[in-house]
Amino acid sequence: MSSPYAEMVPILLMIATFAAMTFAFKLPVSVSLVGAAILGALVAGQGVPLRHLVEGTLGYMDTLLIIATAMVFMRMIQASGLLDTIAHHLITGFESRPASLLVLMMLFAMSAGMITGSSTAAVLTTGAIVAPAFIALGISKNKTGAIIAMAGILGMIAPPVNIPVMIIGGGVDMPYIGFALPLLVLTLPLAVAIVLLLGLKSIRATTIDRSLLPPTYHRQYGWKLYLPLVILVVLIVLERALPSIVPSFGMPLVFMVCALVAPFTGRRMNPLVVARDAIRAALPVMGILAGVGMFLQIMALTGGRGFIVSLLVGLPLGLLYLSIGLSMPLFGAVSAYGSASILGVPFVLALLGTNEIIVASALSLVAAMGDLMPPTALAGLFAAKVVDQPNYTRVLKHCLIPALLTVGVSLGYIATADFWDRFLFWDNRLALYGILLAITAAVAVVILILDRWVIRHRVATGEAQS
């Protein structure tokens, strides 16, 4: 292959093979990625390079361990009754403050995605727990499905676990360090805006039927029920606040320690069965990640990654942003992780010179929008099942504006990366946290004002009907 475009053939064949195996032959995404990688190596004259295939997989070993241990921890605290208890007290405590309740339920729905790095895990666990409360407030099934679908996607991107960013970082040799604040600044404002946009005007009920609430186990087990979550927060905070004193445990060890504590804090469970079911649920995601590692390694081996980067570098900036906004969500319909690896890595390399942490954070969120793209639309599909909506496109219809808003904000995040670089990585951390705290307080005040507005609107509606 002496042509200057010799690298085109293997990479185009790899992408075509991946798409054909996934859509035409209905094979799992992980198997399709491995098959495409092997075929690309054969066409490039590399044979079946076992060393590179293994090396590609092992490049994501840390991420694989995080996914497995995070899923075990999540299933353990779900089995102990902790998630149900938190949701119960959250809803009953803020029932009279509807706007605040919407925001807090949104953050709770995101929490499983934040821990596991999976949008579907968030939709099917914490999303499913709060969905009846959203419906009981008067929000339609379709809008409720849209809210928990967006919560799952935003939770998947929010820290501490963001798998698309880890995939991108693995492709450009960038460690998963320093992402927490940029990801929080990107995702939390969007979460607040989206849940208020979709839910605030739809609130009708003044109280929530107690039969729709998840049970609480606080009286039975007391404060020890919350011990796994407390240990998780303490270990993460100590590791980051006192790095010179507290050693780096690593997220897999932190999750495992907390998971081992969970069986002794709440409802009786068989920890081995719970752990087995958790690993079984995590295997498809872990398989995709292993396939992504192989695919990326073969892309680099055959020169395909460099070819894509050389094409992207030559694009005008506006066209580059447009290609990001269109191609990553579309390719994410197959797999958000695949989009992050095949397109995210070249886009980061094409934007070298801009803060890579900001760029990778934004690209991970754009790639995650693929979970709303038909025909797979995993987040929308599972959200529709949670709210008993057989036609998932009715849920996706309400996701359109939030998705466009999310992509637009992400592209704006990249375009203003120089500002965020100076602000979020400001040496004066005390001033930075003071500004962020003031902004958070201002948002809280706005939400409290919205609480009063909703209550007055309820009263006015009730008087008009009487």
* C-alpha distance from residue 98 to each of 90, 91, 95, 208 (Å): 12, 10, 6, 11
Peptide bond into 189 cis (omega under 30): no
Q: What whole-number distance in Å separates Cα of residue 192 and Cα of residue 197?
A: 9
Q: What whole-number distance in Å separates Cα of residue 136 and Cα of residue 101?
A: 12
Q: What whole-number distance in Å separates Cα of residue 347 and Cα of residue 340?
A: 9
Give the angle 17-382-260 at the CA atoms, nearest 5°: 100
Greatest extent of the chain over all pairs of C-alpha atoms, in Å: 82
Q: Tell me what pLDDT residue 273 has.
A: 96
| Residues of the chain with confidence (pLDDT) below 50 | 1-2, 463
Domains of the chain: which residue ranges?
Answer: 8-425
Structure token digits, residue 197: 């946009």
Element at 450 (helix H, strand E): helix 429-465
Q: Tell me what pLDDT residue 458 has.
A: 65
Contacts of 322 (CB under 8 A, 6+ apart): none
Structure token digits, residue 333: 């319909």
Beta partners for residue 167, in sequence order: none
Q: Tell me what pLDDT residue 5 has.
A: 63
Whole-model pTM: value is 0.85
Closest by Cα among 205, 185, 194 to 106: 194
Structure token digits, residue 117: 């790095």
Phi, psi of 354 (to 5 degrees): -95, 155
Contacts of 109 (CB under 8 A, 6+ apart): 122, 126, 127, 129, 130, 147, 148, 151, 152, 155
List alpha helices for 123-179, DSSP H.
128-136, 141-157, 163-171
Q: DSSP assignment, residue 225? A: G
Q: Tell me what pLDDT residue 1 has.
A: 46
Q: What whole-number distance in Å separates Cα of residue 356 and Cα of residue 353?
A: 8
Residue type at position 23: F
Q: Tell me what pLDDT residue 292 has.
A: 84
